[in-house]
Structure formats: C-alpha cells, structure tokens
Amino acid sequence: MARSALLNVMVQAALKAGKSLSRDFGEVQNLQVSVKGPSDFVSQADLKAEKIVRDELLKARPTYGFLGEESEELKGTDGAHRWIVDPLDGTTNFLHGIPQFAVSVALERNGEVVAGVVFNPATDELFTAEKGGGAFMNDRRIRVAARRVLSDCVIGCGMPHLGRGNHGKFLVELRHVMGEVAGMRRFGAAALDLAYVAAGRLDGFWETELSPWDMAAGLILIREAGGFVSDMKGATDIFGSGNVVAGNELIQKALIDVVNRPIPTR
C-alpha cells in the first residue's frame, strides 16, 4: 500500500513509541511479583511514550497542534491541523501484564480526523487509515464485518469501574444488548476495540465517557473500512459527547436502538 508522507510520519512515531513500550512491558511483567507493584513504573512508561510520539510528530510538522492524554494541549500556529495521541491506550492491561494495549495517533484537519494509526506492539499489529485511502492492518486491506442481524454478532463494549462511569446505566445497556447478540467482549483498550471493528473481528462496539484520544484514530479506521460511527444518539458529536457506537450500517443502527431502550418498568 502507498502511504502519504504524513501517514509515514505517524507510523514511524507509533512504531518508535511501541518499541519503548515493549521494553517496559517486559519489566512490568517482572514487577508484577513485587509487593510495591508496577504502578509508578507504568506511569513513567506512558509519559516516555508520549514524549517519543510528540517529538517525532512535531519535528516533522512543528506548526501543528498536539492533544495528548499525558500533557497539556499545545495550540499550533497552523490552526487547521492537530495531532491527537494516546501513547498507551489500555494502561490497566499494561499494568497487569496483559498484552492488549496500543499507541494511537490521529491527525485532525479543520475538525475532521483524516488519518489514523493504532499499533499494538505486543502482537505487532499495525492498523492504518487515511481519508479516501481505505483501512489496513499490516498493509492488508481490512473491512468491517458483513453480518446483518445482532443475533449473529459479537459486540464489544467498555465497562465502568471503581470511581468511573454510571454503573447502573451501563448494567441496563448491557442487559439489553446481552439478550440480542451471540457474544459480548470487553478487552480494555478502546482504540484497539475500534480497530477490531474495522478489521471485522468485532461486529460492533459501544462505550461512554471516552476522550478524543481514545477514539480519534479508531473512527477513521472504521469509516475507511466501510463502517459507521456516531454518538449514542446517532449524531456526529462524538468528541463532545464522549461516547461512540460503531459497526456496519445495519448493526450500528440496531445497536443504537438497543442501548437506548428505556429501563423497563414493572
């Protein structure tokens, strides 16, 4: 596949950060047996990965803005372009030695995400997409799954936990979806979950209370793989709402209907 100069910059930044995370991941697995645990080490790994990505991207395009999870937003002089980066999506997985985490890098132009990269260094899987150019995993073209009814589908989701999210609301959503689908999955890294929808591994996905860096690269991956994404209301304000529903055209619409069903009254 042919990549633009900008996408090549993004890929190289993600690969370089991924190499750093791979080294640190080996240390995390060793630290699991210690009493203190690996929390402080992981936070440093996260910060180091973001610095690598930030330095690589801004070296190539110093006038672009930068929005990352671990640092204050940088307003670029360009005005039209902004990098949106999660240097370690799936931090809790990483912390526990679970090889389901990723570097996520997206490019936004005039408010629209036009390129995205999601890289899992543990599996060496690189997902890439550019507007109008299709979506790829390790240079192989990917497409969303073609299943037409929820009863045939495996659906991914996020899940609230201690101190975060509306647990009661989620349990209602989960109850509704569980009764309609062939299987549910919760992998713990939204960028990869969205990439999995793009690759047809998951038929659909929904999650609430996300940040732009959790979703940006995954959104264009799905769109360029022939899929559909919106917020929970079916609207386009995904970053503003902090929630996302994704799938092919039929499954995405069906999933929106199911997760928005009212709570049953007795």
Tell me how crowded residue 6 is: count the other CB atoms within 10 A of its CB.
Answer: 18
Q: How far apart are CA 220 and CA 93, in angstroms?
A: 24
86 is in an annotated binding site: yes
Q: Count the neighbouring beta carbons within 10 Å of the beta carbon of residue 150.
A: 21
- Ligand-binding annotation for 124, yes or no, is no
Q: Is 69 annotated as a binding residue?
A: yes
Report whether 89 belongs to an annotated binding site: yes
214 is in an annotated binding site: yes
Residues 6+ apart with CB under 8 A from 143: 135, 200, 225, 226
Handedness of CA 51, 5, 120, 188 (dihedral sign): positive
Query: What radius of gyration, in Å, describes the C-alpha atoms of the chain?
Result: 18
Contacts of 26 (CB under 8 A, 6+ apart): none
Phi, psi of 179 (to 5 degrees): -75, -5
Alpha-carbon distance of 207 to 157, in angstroms, equals 6
Angle at 254 between CA 256 and CA 257, to 5 degrees: 40
CA distance 247 to 223: 9
C-alpha to C-alpha distance for 95 and 24, rounded to whole angstroms: 10
Binding positions are 69, 86, 88-89, 214
| Residues in binding site for Mg(2+) | 69, 86, 88-89, 214
